[in-house]
Structure 1
Amino acid sequence: MNDFATSLSRSASGMQAQAMRLRFTSENIANADTPGYHRKTSSFEEVVESGRPTGQVRLGPVELDRRELTRVYDPGHPMADENGYYDGSNVDLVVEIADAREAQRSYEANLRMFDQARQMSSALLDLLRR
């Protein structure tokens, strides 16, 4: 039974990490037109307990993308400098949409694994009851 619990916890950690990744992607898309906004990024880390890897993952610390902000020409904008430019964001909507799709597919794969492990443990319990 321990293997089933391990499978469930690994799949659940993957779903949680992908959900957070999707949240950051959504925030980036929502702030694509916000002047001075830096894209949020994060990477996955393996969970280690008592010095041993558990097979679970989590999202690492949130980092801001260091790429330069786009310069937008709009002399009427309140944040424009004397030349009519202001700093836009460094969010690329195509990249964000691709990241969102990847996170969604990974979430769904983890969900299928979770459901398979749950069905297998349920079937095993039914066999043992007989």
Structure 2
Amino acid sequence: MSLFKIFDISGSAMSAQTTRLNTTASNLANADTVAGSAAEAYKARHPVFRTHFQDALSAGVNTAGIVESRAPVQMRYDPGHPLADAQGYVYGSNVDVVEETVNMMSASRSYQTNVQVLNTSKELMLRTLNLGKS
């Protein structure tokens, strides 16, 4: 196995965490939005990851897709709101701000860990190259 494959593996993990951070940011940005019906309300989105390991030379993680949360949207009685339906209800997103904040922290730390893996690997390779030098 080539020592350089660690860069591919960590790079794919960093790409996956970037996708996770982007979807989390989108969810947080839309947490307080409302709509005139439950179908139009913003639904939280979450990435689905898939690991791949064909052999020792090809491993990593891919984003298999983005799925919408099936949690119910928030229905709130507000007859004065311009988007209220005939019964006076507006429909808010199903984004759980606490869950999204934890997701953001976890993705950020995972990204940082992979950066450290890359830096450590680079440093070990440089030290290996310098073994014969006095």
- What TM-score do the two structures reach when normalised by structure 2? 0.86
Aligned partner of residue 107 in structure 1, secondary structure: helix
Q: Which residue of 2 aligns with 1:26?
A: 25
Q: Which residue of 2 aligns with 1:61?
A: 65
Q: What letter corresponds to residue 47 of structure 1 in structure 2?
A: H
> Which shows bigger deviation, 25-34 or 72-81?
72-81
| Whole-angstrom distance in 2 between the partners of 1:68 and 1:91 | 10
| Whole-angstrom distance in 1 between the partners of 2:100 and 2:124 | 36
Give the length in aligned residue pairs.
126
| Whole-angstrom distance in 1 between the partners of 2:121 and 2:31 | 39
| Whole-angstrom distance in 1 between the partners of 2:42 and 2:133 | 58
Matches within 5 A, 1:1-130: 2-3=2-3, 5-35=4-34, 36-47=41-52, 52=54, 54-128=58-132
Superposition CA RMSD, Å = 1.7
Task: Return the structure number with greater strand share.
Answer: 2
Cα deviation 1:42-73 (Å, max 9, x = unaligned): 1211135xxx1532012220111122111022
Aligned partner of residue 113 in structure 2, secondary structure: helix
Aligned partner of residue 42 in structure 1, secondary structure: strand
| Whole-angstrom distance in 1 between the partners of 2:118 and 2:7 | 5
Aligned partner of residue 72 in structure 1, secondary structure: strand
Cα deviation 1:27-52 (Å, max 9, x = unaligned): 0000111221010111211135xxx1
Q: What letter corresponds to residue 43 of structure 2 in structure 1?
A: H
Gaps of 5+ in 2: 35-40
Gaps of 5+ in 1: none
Cα deviation 1:61-109 (Å, max 9, x = unaligned): 0111122111022111122122211111000100000000010111111
Q: Do 1:21 and 1:59's aligned partners in 2 also have CA atoms closer than 8 Å?
A: no
Task: Return the structure number with greater helix share.
Answer: 1
| Whole-angstrom distance in 2 between the partners of 1:82 and 1:2 | 65
